[in-house]
Structure 1
Amino acid sequence: MQAMNKEKQEKFHETFANRGRLLVKCPDRPGIVSAVSAFLFEHGANIIESSQYSTDPSGGIFTLRIEFELEGLSSNIAVLEDNFMPIAGSFEMEWQLSPVTKLKQTAVFVSKEPHCLLEILWAWQSGEMMTDIALVISNHNACRPMAESLGIPFYHVPASKENRKEAEKQQLSLLKEYEIDLIILARYMQILTPDFVSSYPNAIINIHHSFLPAFIGARPYERAYERGVKLIGATSHYVTTDLDEGPIIEQGVERVTHHDHTDELKRIGRSIERSVLARAVKWHLEDRVLVLGNKTVVFS
């Protein structure tokens, strides 16, 4: 199984060896696109894809995502970064320039329910989600066979209110050891402490089994049934210190009726959760998500 994914990664590296990505966020004013485009042209790059958005053209925040082709990119990336700094400084940019083939190191956290983990593993195995899944961490052993059957290291770290500090210390040590860039909470049913969250700002993606901001917190399906809702949903968002209130990346809904009791809502909801989380993770891995305060810009 792991060999199959390796073959897809090798093909990906071969196909996109000269593909780069430039992300920009800065105060909006005239000349930004012109300056960035001229810079890439002068360095021999060909723009393949470009998306931009401004919160307010008369003084808001401007965001830009560009993919480009440049022969010999891997050996020229440091030069490009150095040469781009004057432009970035003149426009007060927050920016990132990187090869598309530089895959993010990912850790998946899961508890007992496997559906979201299985969706992530399937997307990774099939090559639809280009990342290196470095490890799976769980407070239960139920999902161990799923990870280890694909050659992915699995770590059982018991976690509860009583030992949260000790558990997170062990988890953070593992994340550092594996040089993790992104944490996926695939129905990990533990609340993370502010210290843990602050260690990975805008790099922890959660799936909440509700169409936020409705039914924040525990037992959302039970509360949705009690309220008699006609739509149920799921929300994937970045984790912040405010429970279930981080910047939203993706959401999905499905219509239900009075015939659907709690168990049926959960069955329908699991399908929504899987697809919503997978899309959010894929977009993050492709650098399509930019955070603006407590909102996101998601470039298609």
Structure 2
Amino acid sequence: MASPILVQTRDELLEALRALHAKGERLALVPTMGFLHEGHLSLIREGKKRADKVAVTIFVNPTQFGPNEDLDRYPRDLAGDLAKCGEAGAWLVYAPQSPREVYPEGFQTWVQVTELEMGLCGGKRPGHFKGVATVVAKLLGLFRPQLALFGQKDYQQLAVIRRMARDLDLGAWTEIVGMPTVRETDGLAMSSRNAYLSPEERQRALSLKAGLDAAAARYEAGERQAAALLAAARAEVERGADRIDYVELVDADSLRPVERVDGPVCLLVAAFVGKTRLIDNRVLGS
């Protein structure tokens, strides 16, 4: 498979995109922070099925990290990522050479999805989704793709991006596509942060999926009370996690907590295993 075009400045990117749009080709966009794994590659391959070309962005976005988070140590491997993008069939990779390419001096415009970013990860990571929504809005504005693909592992992020695109009419030209969570063979949700885990922590991290499985089993057996489903999930997560950020059952669309399951809901968990914060989720109901 041919190597993708690598562009690292806005001007280089716009030149490549003008040529693409002039041909009338359909474009799929896969925004990432790099250190790519099979979850990211599945998005690229799906984009190839739905569009003529796939563009990937690799940018560790500083505005979505808090002051005590892992921005400096977030794993990076541009050379490896380019090889993987080529194997998956990406046409172009935009890897800004510095944050100044994305946030030039004097930058002062921010995007916030006020209700959906409250609670869950938004409550635990203030400002996180402001950074996510802003950078994704910029990327959709730059690329103008026909579709943009995101993994459902980051469920709240996907909900925020869908609402942002709808509210700002970015969805007039771009379909926001959510794709199922990709898991390791033992069930752990794939994440770039899994690289932080020691072998012992890696085994304990399976408690997150065990919690989701336990609640799903109770649901399939007929349980509809949120308190019982949450208790089943939390009991399993506590077996492996060092600290639980949250275990929540929310409406699948509004992300508001529910007391009883009467329609589609999402069970979400965030927990620390060692010093690594992991998230996972499961949708219950049709």
Q: TM-score, normalised by structure 1?
A: 0.32
Which structure is higher in helix share?
2
Structure with the greater alpha carbon radius of gyration = 1
* Higher strand proportion (structure 1 or 2): 1
